[in-house]
């Protein structure tokens, strides 16, 4: 599978009921008045944002979106948006994932917001991840999204190959390179992922020109696993 820009509003029909149910539960459990909330990406995260429209006291919430798409969702839900200068006080972030392995490492960045998502994760007191059940796997199958500075395309590509990667520039269907909201490019690279994902994340991030890596090794407070029958499972503090 080749990662690429995704519509964060789209949820497979078979998971739509589960998305609604888990969104209600997540807000009941983790949202309180006067919180600062990070808004990550992905269809399940978008479902949670839409459900916040019904939260009693939503006018007291202050939200930090990580992408333009999720910003639009928040505005449609009547949520109040604030700037990144308040990010250090983030109480909770709701986010999705492209894949989650058996050790609860994640691949993120299919929607292109990996840099901002990882920054908000680092600031939040609690991280809540919601994803469809088919995204929970023993090992990763997706290529790793890597956000790079435009000046460093060729050198980063070469160093990724030296590390055993098979890098491929992310392109739009029109044939132009995909550009992130930060003005950078994304390379999606298949790797023989090691047993030490945290070390691999560090090694990739340490390449000059690499801005951020779509390997997320910081564990969440809770993971919501949406199921096709409309139910969901919660995995807390794995």
> How far is Cα 222 from Cα 22, in angstroms, rounded to an integer?
12
Say if 127 falls within a structural domain: yes
H/E stretch holding 107: strand 106-107
Residues 56 and 129 in one domain: yes
Residues 37 and 88 in one domain: yes
Q: What is the pTM of this model?
A: 0.92
Active site residues: 117
Residues 162 and 133 in one domain: no
Query: What pLDDT was estimated at residue 238?
Result: 83
pLDDT tens for residues 157-211?
A: 999 999 999 999 999 999 999 999 999 999 999 988 777 999 999 999 999 999 9
Domain that holds residue 155: 144-214
pLDDT tens for residues 2-37?
A: 344 444 456 778 899 999 999 999 999 999 999 999
Helix (H, G, I), strand (E, B) or coil at 237: coil
Residues 99 and 195 in one domain: no
> How far is Cα 235 from Cα 112, in angstroms, rounded to an integer?
26
Closest CA to 217 of 88, 111, 121: 121
Residues 23 and 133 in one domain: yes
Say if 185 falls within a structural domain: yes
Say if 5 falls within a structural domain: no
Say if 86 falls within a structural domain: yes
> How far is Cα 43 from Cα 45, in angstroms, rounded to an integer?
5
202 vs 42 pLDDT, higher one: 202
Residues 223 and 209 in one domain: no
Residue 234, beta-bridge partner list: 224
Residues 84 and 167 in one domain: no
Query: Tell me, what CATH number does 88's domain have?
Result: 3.40.50.1360
- Residue positions counted in the chain: 238
Residue 29, Cβ density class (10 Å: 0-12 exposed, 13-18 middle, ≥19 buried): middle
């Amino acid at each position: 599978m080749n990662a690429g820009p995704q519509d964060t509003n789209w949820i497979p029909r078979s998971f739509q009921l589960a998305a609604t149910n888990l969104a209600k539960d997540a807000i009941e459990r983790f949202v309180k008045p006067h919180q600062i909330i990070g808004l990550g990406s992905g269809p399940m995260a978008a479902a949670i944002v839409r459900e916040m429209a019904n939260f009693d006291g939503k006018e007291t919430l202050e939200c930090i979106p990580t992408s333009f798409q999720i910003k639009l969702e928040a505005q449609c839900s009547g949520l109040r948006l604030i700037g990144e200068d308040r990010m250090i006080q983030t109480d909770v972030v709701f986010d999705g994932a492209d894949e989650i392995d058996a050790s609860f490492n994640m691949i993120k960045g299919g929607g292109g917001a990996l840099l901002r998502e990882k920054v908000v994760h680092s600031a939040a007191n609690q991280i809540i991840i919601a994803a469809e059940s088919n995204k929970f796997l023993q090992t990763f199958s997706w290529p790793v999204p890597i956000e790079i500075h435009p000046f460093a395309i060729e050198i980063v590509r070469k160093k990724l190959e030296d590390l055993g990667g098979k890098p491929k520039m992310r392109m739009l269907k029109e044939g132009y390179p995909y550009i992130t909201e930060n003005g950078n490019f994304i390379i999606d690279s298949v790797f023989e992922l090691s047993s030490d994902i945290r070390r691999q994340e560090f090694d990739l991030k340490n390449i000059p020109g690499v801005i951020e890596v779509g390997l997320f090794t910081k564990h969440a407070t809770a993971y919501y696993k949406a199921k096709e029958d409309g139910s969901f499972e919660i995995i807390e503090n794995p």
